Copies of this chain bind each other. A is one copy, B any other.
Amino acid sequence: MSRSHSSEALDAAERLCQERGERLTPIRKRVLELVLGWDGPVKAYDLLDALNPESGTAKPPTVYRALDFLMGLGLVHKVEALNAFVGCTHSHDEGGAELYICNNCGSVRERHGAAVSHNAPEGFKIERSVIEHFGHCGNCNP
């Protein structure tokens, strides 16, 4: 993931926060940078380890609070099946992302909107969907 790509996303994050009257504090920004710059999904405790050489005192709540905030803005998604997090560089139009995760190289592709199945049980009202596909991406696929 290129640095410019990451910084574009950071700019977008700044704008989004302004729109919503939220504050992209240094910690939140740093966590977002780390997640965006990470190669594949990143674990919360790996973020913690990455944070600590810098700030020295980060503890679990620090990183989880930042991640919660970023997820609230749709800037970061949690990969539930991995207990890990990925940065979202796409449109932040809510509605939940559909993730394609390569088991080999760890790359994550994201799709939006899309493919909500039409076979929900009678009367079921969907509020949040977790859709994660694991397999092999085009590069890792013979």
Contact = CB atoms under 8 A, between A and B. Distances in A.
Contacts of A29: none
Max chain B CB contacts within 10 Å: which of A98, A109, A125, A131?
A: A125
Given A80-B80, A81-B80, A126 B133 contact: yes
Interface in A42-80: 80
A114 B58 CA distance: 44
B135 A128 contact: yes
A30 B123 CA distance: 33
5 contacts: A109-B121, A111-B117, A125-B141, A129-B133, A130-B133
A90 to B, nearest CB: 13
A33 interface: no
Given A111-B119, A118-B115, A119-B115, A135 B130 contact: no
A128 to B, nearest CB: 5
B123 A141 contact: yes
Contact of A138 (B123, B128, B138): B123
Nearest to A102: B124
Contact of A136 (B109, B122, B125): B125
Contacts of A134: 126-130
Nearest to A112: B119
A98 B121 contact: no
